[in-house]
Structure 1
Amino acid sequence: MDAHVSPQSIDRFDPSRKTEQFVILPSEIRDDGWMSISTYQDIAKTTDTLPDKGLELTVLGLFGEVGSLLSAFKKRQRDQSAFKRYNATIMEELGDTLWYFSTLATRAQLDLSTIAQKAFLGLTDWYKVKPADPSLGFAELQNRAGHPIPEETFSIQVLALAGCVGDLLNDFKAGSLTRNGDHLSAHMVEIFRALVAAADSANVDIGEAALENVKKTFSRWPAQITYPRRFDVDMPKNERFPSRLEFFIAEETAGEKQYVIQKCNKIIIGDRLTDNKMERDDYRFHDVFHLAFAVHLGWSPVLRALLHLKRKCDPELDENQDGARAILIEEGVATFIFGRGLGCSLFEGIDRVDYDLLKSIQDFVKGYEVDWCALWQWEKAILDGFSIFRQLVGKRKGYVIADFENHTISFREGSDDDE
């Protein structure tokens, strides 16, 4: 979602304009993306799902994120121009660092705007602060140079930030922070000052980093599940996914060879599928992932081709979104997801997908309409796809019911002669 446009005014992908993910942000964030430091802390508090409510995980998380900043700089130095995503990575890591910092402050019952003000006050003005100041934003605390900063400057500032967080970690291990709130507050002031300095040296707007962090968080864990309108909602009836379809998928044997067929309305669609691999892993049932993509993302060039639902009325969509390259992209995503699932017991008993997998998928599909979908949509598609896959593998045949209108997918045992 564009920071300047509310999700209520744009609830479907428009190929004529560049948009980010469809993410519904908290109403406290202004249409231009500005939010106060206090607002950010309040929002971050609502997204704290860490299991332990003490300080340990937030201290360790803060330490880890600063380490990620150092790692990004190391990659930039090592790979130089080959590391094209350097600026975006620094922005994301600074946002993640800010989230852990804010969450630590909240758990320690410290006001983030007070910490921010004290970071730039002299000793004589130390107590001249406005707690929860609604007018104080991140930009007011930065002196961005507006021109390229020498790389060694950023490394110096990040190392200083790492040193401050390291001191915090050492005192936390020693137990001194839990006995002295002022001592923890002093650490937080020093860390915030170093964080702003690191952002300045990287020419990064902390307010923008905070906004991007909120977008990422609500893309993964929305306050409420709201599906955007489907990509094909304005297409003719014969070029859009119907409200509901039922597929029969079954394994058959010919001699020593096993393969899977798929039928829709008693008609075989697609080719007979095998694992296409020396080591058998039941990948021949993988078409359920394409169904899950269509149900939760409204996207599946593969399924459109199989069902003859390509959007021919729009030549640009037909070529660029439903064409051969898009089909290859989707098959690649399905293969990638399946490979990850093999290493995670096919996600059995797991109710969430790791962020690195979701981020890799979004990088893979960049430039295609599905790039507009939020992280939670991908997570639902992956988990539901594997749920159906596990049931099919167990029964070797059955019906898969895809409800595109209500965004559900289910499995029912049965044979092809049931009807």
Structure 2
Amino acid sequence: MSLPLLGLFGEIGSLLSEAKKKQRDPVAYLGYERTVLEEFGDVLWYLAAVATRSEISIADLALQMGPSTTRNIGRTSDSIRFADLQEPDAQISWISQPTAEFERTLIRLSAEVGLLMVDFDAGRFVNNEPALAGRLLSILRELRQAAGDAGITLEAAANGNLAKIKDRWPDEKIYPAPFDDGFPEPERFERKMVFEISEVLEGDLLVSRLTKDGIAIGDVLTDNRQGDDDYRFHDVFHMAYAAVMGWSPTLRRLLKRKRKSDPMIDETQDGARAVLIEEGIATWIFNHAQRLEYFENLRALDYSMLKTVREFVQGYEAENCPLWCWEEAILQGYAAFRQLKRNRSGRLIVDLDNRTLQYEPIK
């Protein structure tokens, strides 16, 4: 049970940190509301995980909380919801700054979680479920109060956490339709495309050359930096975005598949700014990947990195792609990149129907 306990303790610290950052930079710190709501949801998740691993029902604890003894008469753990934990006459409205009341409640909440950790370390919960249930109930009470002081509800926090889980770990993965569905054929990505990338020497420079059906696509690429890092093979990342998400303004421009039949889409989604954003994403992720052996042997990516990537594309169609979809695209792109890095050339098969990018050596 130590892992969810550490998670619970950490998320309480994150809540305190959000209040501190907003106090320190009341104007400059943006995203406070969204982040606080998410942190409350994460605290609830870890609290539920601790309870579940101890075979304690969060719903049974909730029945002991009120909000009034009369409201929950006859209720069962199967029917109670987080919405039932608010006082019947509570007026909940978002508070844009951490108040003194909120800070005091957070300190009490932190103290309760601290006592939980101390008692766990001392072995006081061994064969003593009532003691653990009592600690969890005290935490849940302070958590409800803290949410009210912040102007949010535990119901909103729980719903947000469920949406977050579905965004990253859905029960069923349903890929979004390609963004060019319904456009004329010349403006759509071919649903299966085969590219070749090869490394050649031009003068004193090693460059990467991209071809499709034997025809050169775009300019030859160098690493564009001091020191060799093989970024000249980075077109493979654009192929992965296209394969998995049906999105790549860069590849669309290279293939002359811009959606010109819709001037607004052509300007906003396929224009120069969208291309720059995609290139920025590829470069930013690459800087992280270098520190992690280009994601070799990784089956999952850091959640905060994926969130930041999606923040890059706010206002663009790719923001509608779930985080698991971004994760698949990035991992497939780097699997192909590692092969290119080893072999210095390769054939890339982009399959939009099967949402895959496959690497083959050039024989």
Query: 1:148 & 1:227 partners in 2: Cα distance?
Result: 34
Q: Output the TM-score relative to the length of structure 2.
A: 0.95
Structure 1 position 197 matched with structure 2 position 145: yes
Name the SS for the 1:251 alignment partner.
strand
CA distance in 1, matches of 2:24, 2:132: 36
Equivalent position of 1:295 in the other structure: 243
Say whether 1:106 aligns with 2:106: no
Q: In the aligned structure 2, how far is the partner of 1:146 from the partner of 1:405?
A: 47
> What is the CA–CA distance in structure 2 between the aligned matches of 1:129 and 1:95, rounded to whole Å?
28
Matched, 1:364 2:309: no
**1:301·1:326 contact (CA, 8 Å) conserved in 2?**
yes
Is 1:120 the counterpart of 2:72? The answer is no
Contact 2:193 2:350 in 1 (8 A): yes
Deviation at 1:272, TM superposition (A): 0.9
Alpha-carbon distance, 1:132 to partner? 2.2
Deviations 1:339-363 (A, max 9, x none): 1100100011111101011011011
User: Which residue does 1:133 correspond to in 2?
Assistant: 78
More divergent stretch after superposition (111-120 vs 340-349): 111-120
Shift of 1:103: 1.3
Partner SS, residue 261 of structure 2? coil
Counterparts of 2:208 and 2:93 in 1: how far apart (Å)?
59
Which of 325, 329, 334 aligns to 2:273? It is 325
Shift of 1:230: 1.3
SS across alignment from 2:194: strand
What is the distance in 2 between the residues matched to 1:195 and 1:72? Answer: 15
CA displacement at 1:130 relative to structure 2 = 4.3
- Alignment correspondent of 1:30: none
1:260 aligns with 2:208: yes
1:214 corresponds to which of 137, 162, 171: 162
Distance 1:130 1:181 in 2: 23
3-state DSSP of counterpart to 1:262:
strand
Provide the secondary structure at the position in 1 that maps to 2:30.
coil
Mapping 1:36-115, distance limit 5 Å:
55-115=1-61
Q: Percent identity?
A: 43
Question: Residue deviations 1:57-103, cap 9 Å, x none?
Answer: 11111111010000111110111111110000100000000011111
Task: Give the alignment's Cα RMSD to 1 decimal.
Answer: 1.7
Higher mean displacement: 137-146 or 375-384 = 137-146
SS of structure 2 residue aligned to 1:401:
strand
Write the deviation string for residues 21-75 of structure 1: whole angstroms up to 9, x where unpaired. xxxxxxxxxxxxxxxxxxxxxxxxxxxxxxxxxx111111111101000011111
Unaligned runs of 5+ in 1: 1-54
Contact 1:119–1:190 (Cα < 8 Å) also in 2: no
**d(CA) in 2 for partners of 1:67, 1:409:** 40
Distance 1:386 1:147, change over 3 A: closer
Residue 348 of structure 1: which of 278, 296, 302 is its match?
Answer: 296
Q: Distance in 1 between matches of 2:182 and 2:247?
A: 14
Shift of 1:105: 1.1
Distance 2:30 2:120 in 1: 37
Partner Cα separation in structure 1 for residue 243 and residue 14 of structure 2: 35
Contact 1:120 1:193 in 2 (8 A): no
Alignment of 1:236-315 (within 5 A): 236-315=184-263
CA shift, 1:229, in A, is: 1.4
**Alignment check: 8 A CA contact 1:230 1:298 kept:** yes
Instruction: Give the equivalent residue in structure 2 for 1:45.
Output: none
Aligned letter for 2:27?
S
- Secondary structure at the aligned position of 1:82 is classed as coil
Identify the residue that residue 24 of structure 1 maps to in structure 2. none
Equivalences for residues 394-409 of structure 1 within 5 A: 394-409=342-357
| Pairwise CA distance, 1:211 | 1.0
Letter in 2 for 1:141: L
- The C-alpha deviation readout for 1:171-220, integer Å capped at 9, x for no partner, is 00001112310000000110000000010000012111111111111111
Equivalences, count = 358
